[in-house]
Amino acid sequence: MASKTSIALCISLALLSGCQSTDTNSTATATAQPQWITQTPTSDYMIYGVGSAKSSGDLRQTQLAAQESARLELAKQLNVSITGSTTVKQSASAKSMQFHVDELISSTVPTIQLQGVKIEQEFQSGEVAYALAAFNRTEAVMQTELSISSLDTEISQLELQGASKSELLNKAIEVKTLAAKRDKLNAYLLMLQSAQVAAPKAINKQFETSELILNSLSFNVISDHLKHAKVHDLLSSALTNNGITIKSTDADFDLSFRVEWQEIYKAGTYYSIAESYMVVSENGEEKAHFNSKVKAASSYKETAKSNAMSKLADRLSNQLAKFVVSGHS
């Protein structure tokens, strides 16, 4: 009897042990799905994005794809693209030296990208990977406003004075470059759905002074031979139409040029090819030189030549802007 009781007890203990083992394994393998997968978190100062990706056989690549998807979903809430660019407004006329310079400076100042996005959590469910991206917008706004304040301090400390026109231009360009950086930081604030930082009066005064320096810049066009008198007039007129100030006396810089023409008549069309050699000098000292080659066509010989000169003036206007910004060719 005792033997039967012992056997029954052993069987009972074995069954109980088996049941406990099954319950423990079930708890270890079954992980509850996070709530953020179906309901994106909300916060007064944080922005979240949830992304997912289906497995392609490589677990790490699937996780990275889910992370990228989460970042893009977050960016959509800001109505921006993480890798997109912003456009800086142009306050200058399209026909002014300031415009040419602003356009060149803007192209060299990098756009502020969406920064500080972090992957807070990740989850794997079968073949699908999930990721939760988070971005502290309040902190980003504060940091951007501090950066603008730092730029304003730097701009206010610049003295727009110089012994020569070149030195004055260098300082004016420094102000314009800082202004372009400030504009792009303000564009970033808009991207963050925050108000832009208005420039104080003292800063606006610096902007106005730098623009005045640029727009008062003048060139004296000098040809290398009397036979180029007509070309001289065409070039001067074309540069004037591009907003470049041309003066025959008391100009800031001399613009010496030599143009070689090649004219071809073929099948009822005149082709005018102009190759120019330009030297920019200040008080007899060479500051920069440019070479350009353009081609134009027309049914009329003089029109073809005039069109070529207009193209040459466009090219030279951009080259002069590069000279103004960099101080060299």
Domain that holds residue 300: 218-326
Smallest CA-to-CA distance from 327 within 289, 299, 288, 279 is with 288
The pLDDT assigned to 276 comes to 86
Mean pLDDT, range 231-244, rounded to an integer: 80
Is 268 contained in some domain? yes
pLDDT band (50, 70, 90) for residue 93: low
Question: In the predicted model, what is the mean pLDDT of residues 127-154?
Answer: 96
Q: What is the mean pLDDT of the chain?
A: 83
Name which of 6-10, 53-57, 309-313 the model is least confident about: 6-10
Give a yes or no: residue 301 inside a domain.
yes
Based on the domain organization, do 305 and 285 belong to the same domain?
yes
Residue 82 has pLDDT above 90, yes or no: no
Mean pLDDT of 112-141: 93
The CA-atom distances, in angstroms, between 322 and each of 98, 110, 225, 310, 318 are 12, 17, 27, 19, 6
> Of 196, 215, 234, which one is at a domain's C-terminal end?
215
User: What total number of domains does the chain contain?
Assistant: 2
pLDDT band at 271 (very low <50, low <70, confident <90, very high): very high
- The yes-or-no verdict on residue 193 having pLDDT over 70 is yes
Is residue 316 a part of any domain in this protein? yes
DSSP assignment of 197-242:
-PPPHHHHHHHHHHHHHHHT-EEEEEESSGGGHHHHHHHHHHHHHT
- Which residue, of 151, 184, 215, is where some domain finishes? 215
Residue 149 is assigned to a structural domain of this protein: yes
> Does residue 123 belong to any structural domain of this protein?
no
230 plus 317 within the same structural domain: yes
Q: Are residues 197 and 254 in the same domain?
A: no
Residues 227 and 322 in one domain: yes
pTM, rounded to two decimals: 0.72
Same domain, 237 and 293: yes
Higher local confidence (pLDDT), 81 or 302:
302
Same domain, 182 and 204: yes
b/e burial code for range 214-232 (CB count within 10 A of at least 16 → b): bbebbbbbebeeeebeebb
User: Is the model more confident about 306 or about 185?
Assistant: 185
Contacts with 197 (C-beta within 8 Å, 6 or more apart), sequence order:
145, 148, 149, 185, 186, 189
As a whole number of angstroms, the distance between CA 299 and CA 76 comes to 53
What does the pLDDT read at residue 22?
38
Tell which of 182, 215, 248 closes a domain.
215
Q: Per the domain annotation, does 68 fall within a domain?
A: no
For residue 91, which of 7, 227, 214 has the smallest C-alpha distance? 214
Name the DSSP letter for residue 302.
H
Considering the domain boundaries, does residue 4 fall inside one? no
Task: Please name every residue paired with 221 in a beta bridge, in sequence order, or none if there are none.
Answer: 255
